[in-house]
């Protein structure tokens, strides 16, 4: 996008395990908690804490204090503010998740170096109580971090449950039966800015209220993104992939380059990131890789060169997943820079199971862009990984007529799409009203903006997923 601009911890951690534990109830109006080890290895582990408020009144802040033995330390944390004194680590809210509404929750995560177990835990001054119920899982290295999710596979009625592993067949995205399908869903905003929107409740709303097939995880590389904390952002992405999988949605992992527009600037970062996420998620059927969000100011030859270096990194771990390649001119098939899709047709990426990205913003991009998509779709497999109902800035008024014309075209051509954005950002493209994510309630129409109402009405209509 052209942007304007974690509960009470159980007294014993299952270090080499994946576990989920709900702690025993505390007195009225006190916080409750759940703890989960997302992954572990020989020298440490990654964990998530969910601070819950089962009371009938909101709480205005929270604090979790965790004491670890000598030689074990918390080295990273996200969705919280971390301080330490000796062997005690204190987690307090990030800017967006201090208030927890009645019957709501928030969560944060952290990385522990060392295998020592906690010796004490407090939440808002009260002793953490309860026990964990671990589930065994093999110890893994942090570099590969294979998926350790113990959730059951998606049930048959979900998009992933029906369609299974996707592939490209001709110019179409096809399901496990070789039948062309269209996925419809939403994109996050930058996960560094709006993590409160992508909680369990947020994804529950997308999966069950919106009937969304697709969840695009937009991980900015610059702009306070991946380059500032590669391990932390990789973990965030993996956690969201798990959440989507648990709900039967496809997860589109977006390597969100925008400024600078030359993908070669981030080539080494891309190779590192995609090597790790593809190794970790190789066994999953719900992952699609978007390797370059919006290249701009560079030739198609440069983008193709980048893609042909990054795709083999993914294929080494995950030979079956669909990969989506950005196109010239902010993924406009070149139109926004005076080009066209003909340069891609004449010189396609030398790889299989590849699709090409197209982005549009309905109030800015109209008939000539639609005509190019119609032409390109006859020769190229296209995926609209991002679009807005407003102007290319992501702001302004919703252009309902142009948006519906675009969506009708995509439906007719069976082109999958993700709308920008499932967030409460202060801009016209946001689907959620300001303050929604802090409030923690996402279902229904009362929390939606004009853009959100339009997109929910389009996405929640019945899918057509042929199986024979």
The residues annotated as belonging to the active site are 294, 386
Q: Are 10 and 36 in contact (CB under 8 A)?
A: no
| Whole-number Cα distances in Å, 134 to 12, 40, 148, 154 | 10, 13, 13, 22
Give the residue among 316, 314, 291 at the shortest CA–CA distance from 303: 291
Q: Are strands 120-123 and 64-67 parallel, antiparallel or unpaired?
A: antiparallel
Q: Are 118 and 64 in contact (CB under 8 A)?
A: no
Q: Which residues make beta-bridge pairs with 309? A: none
410: alpha, beta or left? (left if phi > 0; alpha if psi -120 to 50): alpha
């Amino acid at each position: 996008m052209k942007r304007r601009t974690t509960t009470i911890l159980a007294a014993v951690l299952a270090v080499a395990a994946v576990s989920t534990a709900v702690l025993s109830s505390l007195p009225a109006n006190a916080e409750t908690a759940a703890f989960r080890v997302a992954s572990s290895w020989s020298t440490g582990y990654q964990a998530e804490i969910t601070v819950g408020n089962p009371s009938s009144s909101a709480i205005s802040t929270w604090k979790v204090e965790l004491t670890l033995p000598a030689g074990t330390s918390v080295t990273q944390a996200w969705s919280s503010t971390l301080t330490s004194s000796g062997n005690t680590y204190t987690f307090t809210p990030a800017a967006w998740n201090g208030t927890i509404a009645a019957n709501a929750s928030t969560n944060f995560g952290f990385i522990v170096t060392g295998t020592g177990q906690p010796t004490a835990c407090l939440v808002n001054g009260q002793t953490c109580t309860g026990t964990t119920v671990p589930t065994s899982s093999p110890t893994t290295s942090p570099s590969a971090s294979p998926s350790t999710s113990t959730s059951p596979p998606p049930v048959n009625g979900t998009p992933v449950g029906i369609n299974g592993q996707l592939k490209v067949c001709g110019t179409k995205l096809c399901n496990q039966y070789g039948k062309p399908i269209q996925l419809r869903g939403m994109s996050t905003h930058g996960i560094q800015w709006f993590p409160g929107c992508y909680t369990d409740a947020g994804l529950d709303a997308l999966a069950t209220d919106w009937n969304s097939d697709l969840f695009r995880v937009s991980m900015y590389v610059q702009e306070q993104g991946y380059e500032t904390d590669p391990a932390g952002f990789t973990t965030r992405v993996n956690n969201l992939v798990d959440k989507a999988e648990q709900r039967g949605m496809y997860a589109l992992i977006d390597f969100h380059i925008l400024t600078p527009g030359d993908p070669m600037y981030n080539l080494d970062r891309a190779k590192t990131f995609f090597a790790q996420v593809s190794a970790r998620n190789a066994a999953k059927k719900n992952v699609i890789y978007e390797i370059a969000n919006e290249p701009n100011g560079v030739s198609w030859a440069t983008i193709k060169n980048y893609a042909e270096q990054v795709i083999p990194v993914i294929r080494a771990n995950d030979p079956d997943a669909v990969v989506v390649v950005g196109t010239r001119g902010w993924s406009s098939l070149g139109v926004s820079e005076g080009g066209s899709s003909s340069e891609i047709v004449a010189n396609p990426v030398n790889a299989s199971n590849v699709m090409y990205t197209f982005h549009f913003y309905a109030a800015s991009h109209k008939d000539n862009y639609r005509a190019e998509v119609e032409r390109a779709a006859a020769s190229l497999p296209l995926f609209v990984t991002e679009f807005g109902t407003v102007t290319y800035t992501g702001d302004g008024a919703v252009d309902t007529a142009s948006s519906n014309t675009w969506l009708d075209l995509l439906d007719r051509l069976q082109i999958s799409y993700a709308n920008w954005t499932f967030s409460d950002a202060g801009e016209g493209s946001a689907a959620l009203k300001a303050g929604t994510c802090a409030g923690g309630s996402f279902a229904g129409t009362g929390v939606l903006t004009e853009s959100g109402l339009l997109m929910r009405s389009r996405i929640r209509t019945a899918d057509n997923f042929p199986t024979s």
